[in-house]
């Protein structure tokens, strides 16, 4: 397993935006061509650095959304009002522009088929991004591997319109090996019969793998959600060392 071995130094490089697409009214995916990219593992992130003409620097971390097998690196950025970096990345940056990045970074909040399952993925808001890389990696595996590693995703967002990658997730959920459940916390479309509340203990009991299956859980999103959900999973009897967390801080 990759412990601390790093293929290549972690240095800032200029990546080129080769594609940009809106995922939701608030989220945009940037696909980057990063020279000398060593490849990544699902769950890792990059740091992005912007430098203004006066030398002022702002730096943020963004999870990689693309599968490890892809040649280009996809980041999905959620636009945060009045922020320094995300409005620029969402509204100003264009295909052909350069962007300073360094990475891939991370070794704890990563998953690949070698780690095994069953897999429990729980996301709030933009926390879906690193889990999407895991799902895309899983989708590329052989049928035999996917049979061996079933996946359950629980994804909480404010509204139906804010679910990032919604169509792709619904398609992935059509496979017998992948179960996708959305929980809407603020507003639901007419006829919605799904969850209409924040993720809580009852929802995790209903949807989670039995503790006896020894699942591997990955929880990502706003800090309050990550801490609440991971504590609940441990309360339900899951081994804390099999529950991995990545906090994104404030809600977007």
Partner 1 sequence: MQPEELRLDGNAAAGTLREVFAAEVTVMLATCAGCGAERPMGALLEYGDGMGVILRCPGCDRAMLRVARTPEFVRVDASGMSLLAIPRAAE
15 forms beta bridges with 99
Residues in binding contact with partner 1, number by CB under 8 A: 26
* Using rule CB under 8 A, residue 78 touches partner 1: no
**Using the rule CB under 8 A, is 138 a contact of partner 1?**
no
* Helices and strands, number each (H, E), in the chain: 6, 11
Exposed/middle/buried for residue 1 (C-beta within 10 Å: 0-12, 13-18, 19+): exposed
Binding to partner 1 by CB under 8 A, coded x per residue (else -) over 94-133, reads --------xx-xxxxx------------------------
CB of 161 vs partner 1, minimal distance in Å: 25
User: Residue 7 has which token pair?
Assistant: 């293929």
Residue 70 engages partner 1 in binding (rule: CB under 8 A) = no
Residue written as token pair 């971390």: 61
* Site for partner 1 contains 250 (CB under 8 A): yes
Binding residues among 40-69 for partner 1 as defined by CB under 8 A: 45, 47, 61
Please report, as residue ranges, which positions from 6 to 45 form the binding site for partner 1 (by CB under 8 A): 6, 10, 45
245, 219 Cβ separation under 8 angstroms: yes
Of 175 and 223, the one with the shorter C-beta distance to partner 1 is: 223
Query: Which one, of 68, 70, 84, 65, lies nearest residue 27 by Cα?
Result: 65
Extract the tokens encoding 140: 């590329």
**Binding residues vs partner 1 (CB under 8 A):** 1-6, 10, 45, 47, 61, 102-103, 105-109, 223-224, 244-250
């Amino acid at each position: 397993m990759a412990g601390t071995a790093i293929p290549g130094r972690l240095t800032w490089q200029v990546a080129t935006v080769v594609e940009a697409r809106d995922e939701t009214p608030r989220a945009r995916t940037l696909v980057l061509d990063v020279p000398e990219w060593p490849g990544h593992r699902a769950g890792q992130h990059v740091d992005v650095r912007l430098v203004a003409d006066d030398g002022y620097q702002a730096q943020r971390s963004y999870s990689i959304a693309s599968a490890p097998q892809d040649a280009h690196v996809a980041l999905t950025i959620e636009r945060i009002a009045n922020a320094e970096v995300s409005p620029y990345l969402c509204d100003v940056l264009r295909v052909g522009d350069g962007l300073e990045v360094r990475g891939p970074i991370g070794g704890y909040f990563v998953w690949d088929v070698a780690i095994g399952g069953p897999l429990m993925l729980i996301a709030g808001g933009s926390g879906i991004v690193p889990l999407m890389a895991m799902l895309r990696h899983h989708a590329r595996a052989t049928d035999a591997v996917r049979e061996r590693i079933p996946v359950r995703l629980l994804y909480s967002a404010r509204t139906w319109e804010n679910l990032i990658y919604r169509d792709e997730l619904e398609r992935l959920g059509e496979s017998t090996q992948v179960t996708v459940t959305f929980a809407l916390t603020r507003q639901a479309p007419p006829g919605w019969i799904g969850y209409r509340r924040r993720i809580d203990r009852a929802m995790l009991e209903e949807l989670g793998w039995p503790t006896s299956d020894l699942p591997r859980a990955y929880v990502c999103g706003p800090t309050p959600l990550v801490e609440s959900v991971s504590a609940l999973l441990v309360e339900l009897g899951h081994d804390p060392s099999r529950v991995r967390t990545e906090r994104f801080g404030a809600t977007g």
